[in-house]
Amino acid sequence: MPTHSSHAIPPSEITPRALFERRREFLRLSTGAALAGLLPSAQAKLAPGRPSAYSTTDSPTPLRHVTSYNNYYEFGTDKEDPARTAHALRVRPWTLVIEGLVKQPKTLGIEDILKLAPLEERIYRLRCVEGWSMVIPWLGFPVASLLKLVEPLGSAKYVEFITAVQPETMPGVRSRVLDWPYVEGLRMDEAMHPLAIIAVGLYGDVLPNQNGAPLRLVVPWKYGFKSGKSIVRIRLTDTEPRTSWMKSAPREYGFYSNVNPEVDHPRWSQATERRIGEFAKRKTLMFNGYTEQVGQLYTGMDLRKQF
Ligand SMILES: Nc1nc2c(c(=O)[nH]1)N[C@H]1C(S)=C(S)[C@@H](COP(=O)(O)O)O[C@H]1N2
Ligand SMILES: [Mo]
């Protein structure tokens, strides 16, 4: 890295230019109709008395909090680190490999991915295992539309999500806080559930780097760490993936990690949460409030043992 010349241009001047280019591409590639239809449809979904099965009626967390209070350990472990350092992340060119137990493995450029499916706005709660939560209007499409493209084999039982490692842009990967690359996983039926999405934007605009640009998994009924940021590889397997958090602390982080107020983290309670921007604590809801939609995925399981 030519540190000298890159330091000569302050980040405040690099970022708007790069962001401008991405935004222009984003607006061109995501069909105009989908974007134009976005706000009215989101509002229709929020009509009083008719909450959508997908979007919450909770008020979105102000954008400034969503982009300045982040967990993205590749860019440092403090909440303010990603907003300060993730502008360096290289998000173009970007390719995603989908492989493993599939009939049609694929390597897709970000441009192809943005054209794959119409973008939808989904307002979801995000509940971090640390006890805070936010409400975020994502722009994205179901994980299922990516997986259908590669034709999963009957033997595929799990989906592994592998995220980017850019040692030259990510100061955090020099430290061993986690095993890099950051890996997350879902069971096949969880990944195919319509609530599970790949987000490419938020608040009607391209995804900020600190929020996981250019592709980020969002699984609203699970703790926030299941939502891997800056995904480069998706692998379908017949064995349960070993995720970065399970490797770092197997007693604290299980494979499922469903939001569950009745199962405490070994070091703290999960019964309540603080919504960023609010003062009083809220009660944490089973499956983060999505029991009606996802509860049946876990019938017959002991959620204390399979936490
Ligand atoms: N690659 C990567 N993805 C990640 C993380 C990370 O450190 N690296 N942190 C996770 C955690 S712990 C949470 S709570 C959410 C936070 O998302 P946000 O910062 O966009 O709100 O991202 C998740 N995805
Ligand atoms: Mo988290």
Cα(83)–Cα(70) distance, integer angstroms: 7
The annotation status of 5 as a binding-site residue, yes or no, is no
Nearest to 215 by CA among 102, 127, 99, 93: 93
pLDDT for 179: 96
Q: In a mutational test of the pocket of ligand 1, which residue from 61, 72, 73 has the highest number of ligand atoms less than 8 Å from its CB? A: 72
Can you list the positions of beta strands (E) in 71-220?
Answer: 95-100, 106-109, 120-127, 132-142, 158-163, 183-187, 197-202, 205-206, 216-218
Contact criterion met (CB below 8 Å) for 29 and 114? yes
Contact residues for 199 (Cβ-Cβ < 8 A; gap 6+): 138, 139, 140, 207, 211, 212, 215, 216, 217, 218
Is residue 243, in this structure, part of any structural domain at all? yes
Q: In a mutational test of the pocket of ligand 1, which residue from 166, 227, 274 has the highest number of ligand atoms less than 8 Å from its CB? A: 227
C-alpha distances out from residue 172 to 12, 86, 257, 262, 278, Å: 21, 11, 24, 33, 30
pLDDT for 39: 44
Q: What is the CATH number of the domain that holds 146?
A: 3.90.420.10
Which residue range forms the structural domain that includes residue 257? 11-295
Is residue 184, in this structure, part of any structural domain at all? yes
Question: How many alpha carbons fall within 13 Å on the CB side of residue 92?
Answer: 9
Can you list the positions of beta strands (E) in the chain?
Answer: 95-100, 106-109, 120-127, 132-142, 158-163, 183-187, 197-202, 205-206, 216-218, 231-237, 272-275, 282-283
Is residue 301, in this structure, part of any structural domain at all? no
pLDDT for 132: 98
**Which DSSP symbol is given to 185?**
E
Number of domains making up the chain: 1
Cα(35)–Cα(106) distance, integer angstroms: 27
Q: What spacing in Å lies between the alpha carbon of 298 and ligand 2's midpoint? A: 22
First to last CA, the chain: 42
pLDDT for 26: 67
Q: Which two tokens stand for residue 150?
A: 């590669």
The annotation status of 216 as a binding-site residue, yes or no, is yes
Which ligand is nearest the CA of 130, by number? 2
Contact criterion met (CB below 8 Å) for 94 and 215? yes
pLDDT for 282: 98
Instruction: Give, using CA atoms, the residue closest to atom 11 of ligand 1.
Output: 225
pTM for the model: 0.90
Cα(284)–Cα(228) distance, integer angstroms: 22
Contact criterion met (CB below 8 Å) for 232 and 96? yes
Q: C-alpha angle with apex 282: 245 to 210, nearest 5 degrees?
A: 45
C-alpha distances out from residue 24 to 32, 50, 209, 303, Å: 12, 34, 16, 45
Q: What spacing in Å lies between the alpha carbon of 247 and ligand 2's midpoint? A: 15
pLDDT for 41: 46
pLDDT for 45: 42
Q: Which two tokens stand for residue 64?
A: 């400034």
For the chain, list residues with pLDDT below 50: 1-11, 31-34, 36-49
Q: Where on the phi/psi map is residue 100: left (φ > 0), alpha (ψ -120 to 50), or beta?
A: left
Contact residues for 30 (Cβ-Cβ < 8 A; gap 6+): 114, 118, 119, 139, 200, 201
Is residue 303, in this structure, part of any structural domain at all? no
C-alpha distances out from residue 46 to 39, 59, 277, Å: 11, 10, 21
Contact residues for 163 (Cβ-Cβ < 8 A; gap 6+): 74, 181, 182, 183, 184, 228, 229, 230, 231, 232
In tens, the pLDDT along 102-136 reads: 999 999 999 999 999 999 999 999 999 999 999 99
